[in-house]
């Protein structure tokens, strides 16, 4: 089945140690999104790619970066994770920017030691 796959499901890293989260899609969608979701809160958009065009939300910390080497893959890099970055990170895709339904992966839960 076509889907959005996030790896790993659970990631533990140390305070300040860089970490990369991965997302892949078989839907061939143009747009890929990364969201941060903390407990009992709505998902918060960090950034998105429309094809190779990168769009950063104004309040996304500089500590968060993203790469999209091809249509299928998108990565979230956290350069120096702090305790406040512990959260669920959700990847989503859509055919068009914002005006089409977004399809989500199961998320990666990041813990910081």
Partner 1 sequence: GEDVEQSLFLSVREGDSSVINCTYTDSSSTYLYWYKQEPGAGLQLLTYIFSNMDMKQDQRLTVLLNKKDKHLSLRIADTQTGDSAIYFCAEIDEDDMRFGAGTRLTVKP
CA separation for the pair 66, 46 (Å, rounded) = 10
Q: Which structure tokens are listed for 62? A: 């500089």
Candidates 11, 36, 93, 102; binder of partner 1 (CB under 8 A) is: 102
Residue 39 engages partner 1 in binding (rule: CB under 8 A) = no
Omega of the bond leading into 85 within 30 degrees of 0 (cis): no
Continuous H helices in 43-83: none
The least distance separating partner 1 from the CB of residue 105, rounded to whole angstroms, comes to 5
Residue ranges in 44-63 that form contacts with partner 1 under rule CB under 8 A: 45
Q: Which stretch binds partner 1 (CB under 8 A): 12-20, 62-70, 72-80, 92-100?
A: 92-100
CA separation for the pair 23, 36 (Å, rounded) = 14
Binding residues for partner 1, rule: CB under 8 A, are: 4, 6, 40-43, 45, 90, 92, 97-99, 101-107, 109
């Amino acid at each position: 089945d076509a889907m959005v796959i996030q790896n790993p499901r659970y990631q533990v890293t140390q305070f300040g140690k860089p970490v990369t989260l991965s997302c892949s899609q078989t839907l061939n969608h143009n747009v890929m999104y990364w969201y941060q979701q903390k407990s009992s809160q709505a998902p918060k958009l960090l950034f998105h790619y429309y094809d190779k065009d990168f769009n950063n939300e104004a309040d996304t910390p500089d500590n968060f970066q993203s790469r999209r080497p091809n249509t299928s893959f998108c990565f979230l890099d956290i350069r120096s994770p702090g305790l406040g970055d512990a959260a669920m990170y959700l990847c989503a895709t859509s055919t068009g920017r914002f005006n089409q339904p977004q399809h989500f992966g199961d998320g990666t839960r990041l813990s910081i030691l």
